[in-house]
Amino acid sequence: MDIRQLRYFVTVAEEANFTRAAARLHLAQPGLSAQVRQLERELGHRLLDRSGRSVTLTEVGEAVLPYARAALAAVEVVRQTADEFTGLLRGRVALGLVAGAAAAGSGFDVAAVLAGFHEAHPRVEIGLTEDTSERMLAALHRGELDIAVIGLADEEPPPGISLHVVADVPLVAAVAPDDPALTSPDRTVIALAELRDRPLISPPRGTGLRGVFDRACAAAGFRPRIAFEASAPPFLAQLAARGLGVAVVPELPADAAAAVGVRMLEVTEPRLRARAAIAWRTDGPSGPAAAAFLELLRGSFPPPVPR
């Protein structure tokens, strides 16, 4: 028995599938299967049930799994302790981004931060996923993500989650410049109720911005008519410029709005905010690599001054 076999067993148990586990471990599936079978032979028990469509743990496998995880954690502590004497940083960081957060013009240059961190800590593996805010918050709670950049639907953070706000801008309605009802030359705002019967273009459900907008519409007594959904605000604005509806987006820079070909009207009565934040479990990231990356990420994006 060696530590690699324990890692292979744990990974297969987590993925419930040899193919996905092999891809995650960057191994050929036959080799992975052979190593797990060798571990089972050494222990004298089957750990995994391969008879169904997904791989499940046997009774013995369920009993062994927490000890295998503990052994892997102990090995990681040994490595981290040794690395402290040489200034090295190892491990893995699981980072999640709300869809559209890294789009051009978002102001969140995560690629530059990732590149700088990788240059400073080349031994750290970084896993990057893109998803809705709701699903990433759930993944943070389950320990599947260390850090996530999410859109905020509420003023207060969810229980067990800490936040560092990186964006706080007005929510606007982006409209085509030839819209006769909404684009008088001196107009700069639009009451939420005026969007009641308009076809709307917005981010999908599960995003913080959509949560803010849906909640405000419900409080105003109507259900929004969503004609199109997409993740990146610049693309939503492009759809609006083509006359496909009114896009509900965070305020865009004036030059970006002009380049797309839309006018922006701030949503009022009530005024709504589009907020994004770096989120992590309040009890801290799972390891020193994630803690170091979180510190860099927070330092790279100071809290904004709301406008």
DSSP letter string over 223-286?
--EEEEE-S-HHHHHHHHHTTS-EEEEEPPPHHHHHHHT-EEEEEETTT-EEEEEEEEETT--S
**Dihedral (CA of 230, 233, 234, 238) sign:** positive
In a domain, 267, yes or no: yes
Same domain for 16 and 29 = yes
In a domain, 306, yes or no: no
pLDDT number for residue 101: 64
In a domain, 305, yes or no: no
pLDDT number for residue 105: 44
Give average pLDDT by consecutive 10-residue segment, the chain, 307 residues: 91 92 90 93 94 91 93 82 63 83 60 88 87 89 90 82 89 86 76 92 88 92 93 88 92 84 90 90 82 90 74
CA distances from 17 to 20, 50, 138, 156 (A): 6, 9, 22, 38
Domain extent for 15? 3-83
Name the helix (H) or strand (E) containing 97.
strand 91-98
The per-residue pLDDT of the chain, averaged, comes to: 86
Q: What CATH code is carried by the domain that includes residue 46?
A: 1.10.10.10
Work out the number of other CB atoms within 10 angstroms of the CB of residue 194.
17
d(CA 27, CA 29): 6
CA distances from 208 to 106, 155, 276 (A): 15, 11, 8
Same domain for 270 and 172 = yes
pLDDT number for residue 86: 54
In a domain, 307, yes or no: no
Work out the number of other CB atoms within 10 angstroms of the CB of residue 145.
26
Which tens digits make up the pLDDT trace of 32-69?
A: 999 999 999 999 999 999 998 889 999 999 999 999 99
In a domain, 69, yes or no: yes
Same domain for 295 and 156 = yes
Q: What CATH code is carried by the domain that includes residue 251?
A: 3.40.190.10
Same domain for 280 and 161 = yes
Same domain for 193 and 161 = no
Residue where one domain finishes, among candidates 62, 83, 104: 83
Same domain for 172 and 124 = no
- Count of structural domains within the chain: 3
pLDDT number for residue 35: 93
Same domain for 281 and 159 = yes
Q: Assign residue 162 a region (left: φ > 0; alpha: ψ between -120 and 50; beta: otherwise).
A: beta
Work out the number of other CB atoms within 10 angstroms of the CB of residue 245.
23
The answer to whether 227 and 199 have CB atoms below 8 angstroms apart is yes
CA-based R_g, the chain, Å: 24
